[in-house]
Amino acid sequence: MSNLGQFDSDFYQSNYTIDNQEQSCNDSNAHGNLYGSGNQQADVQPQPGSFVPPEMLMSPDYVGQFFQPASSSDYYSQSSYIELGINFDHIWQKTLTVLNPMKPADGSIMNETDLTGPVLFCVALGATLLLAGKVQFGCVYGMSALGCLGVYALLNLMSSSGVSYGCVASVLGYCLLPMVILSSCAVFFSLQGTFGTVSALVIIGWCSLSASKIFISALDMEGQQLLIAYPCALLYGLFALLTVF
């Protein structure tokens, strides 16, 4: 029994005291404060005057760059009149080329199927004839279609590159502008006389010269202007007869 009591006393006897327990608690708190101070230092924002690498300022959710195209005033100014397939700048340049027979024609602009100007000029010719007391809308449209068909066939025989019917109609329609001027004069005074005959001949030459100039520029037919101007003069002579008589 004495050996058993001595074993119990040796088993429960230890050097661990309450002071050691308090010291371990203090050590654990010290380690916690150390880790906490480290996290606080990581959360501290950089001062305004200090250098910070761009990588530290980048958000963790950042996945790429957003492209924002700059607005261009030229784009909107161009799309405002090209969105319907109507280029007013080309219409204005073609009109100036017709009004000035001595001005060189731009073949790249003239070789286009632009029927906006020709339709407007045909309507203007019919309207001025109507104001002069002549209802000739059917004749204007009929002669325009048949005349364009004849010139189209002739140019395809003379030119090696060929030309489309729309291009022929566009050129002949734009060159109808001087005839509109003549028909506008018929609204205010009669053209049945010497002055009217001379004016009609001048307008016919003006229209045919402008049309032949544009055709040889667009189709590279140098030296054949007179051959092209003759059938054009016959066509515009029909419109002059409608205007004068």
Is residue 35 predicted with pLDDT exceeding 70? no
pTM of the model: 0.64
Is residue 184 predicted with pLDDT exceeding 90? yes
Mean pLDDT for the stretch of residues 148-169: 90
Mean pLDDT for the stretch of residues 31-48: 47
Say how far apart CA 239 and CA 84 lie, in whole Å. Answer: 31
Structure token pair of residue 193 = 């006389």
Mean pLDDT for the stretch of residues 128-149: 92
pLDDT > 90 fraction of the chain, expressed in percent and rounded: 37
Mean pLDDT for the stretch of residues 208-224: 87
Give burial (CB, 10 Å; 0-12/13-18/19+) of 93: middle
Mean pLDDT for the stretch of residues 178-198: 92
pLDDT value, residue 23: 52
More confident residue, 100 or 23: 100
Radius of gyration of the chain (CA): 46
Q: Which of 221, 220, 240 is nearest to 232 (CA)?
A: 240
Residue 75's pLDDT band (cuts 50, 70, 90): very low
